[in-house]
Amino acid sequence: MPKVFEHIVHLYIENYWATDRESSIMLTPSRYNIDAWEETELLIISRADMLDLIKKIPSWLEMIRLMDERFAIANNRRLNSTISNTAEKRYEEFAENNPQFILRFPQHIIASYLGVTKETLSRIRKQAMK
């Protein structure tokens, strides 16, 4: 039986919103799972209810717009890093931009997020400490 690899697409901490915009917009089942590593508050809202909130509370739309902009920038940076940088450089940028993630997520989760094995990440971290 072939080995199944888990691919971590996003990491979130407090004040982040985990969502699948494609699923929400297209009204299709998500292909992703959300796995909470810490105690989490969960809001489940339908697309219809979200659109209703936007109509009733104009600042809600502004909040969503700001979150979407930040998400788009982060996604573009990650994509560029993934296709342009070595594993060492990806880890360096990740650690520099997200030091709290290093402390809060297990090494195998960070490795998957960076697209490397946990053994490669261990080697990179050892080299970085020298």
Sequential pLDDT tens for the chain (130 residues): 666 677 899 998 888 888 888 998 899 999 988 888 888 888 888 889 999 999 999 899 999 899 899 889 989 999 999 999 999 999 999 999 999 999 999 999 999 999 999 999 999 999 988 7
pTM for this model (two decimals): 0.82
> What is the 8-class DSSP label of residue 27?
T
Can you give the residue ranges of every domain in the chain? 86-130
Q: Residue 105: what pLDDT?
A: 94
Q: Residue 106: what pLDDT?
A: 93
Question: Which of 28, 24, 59, 62 is CA-nearest to residue 43?
Answer: 24
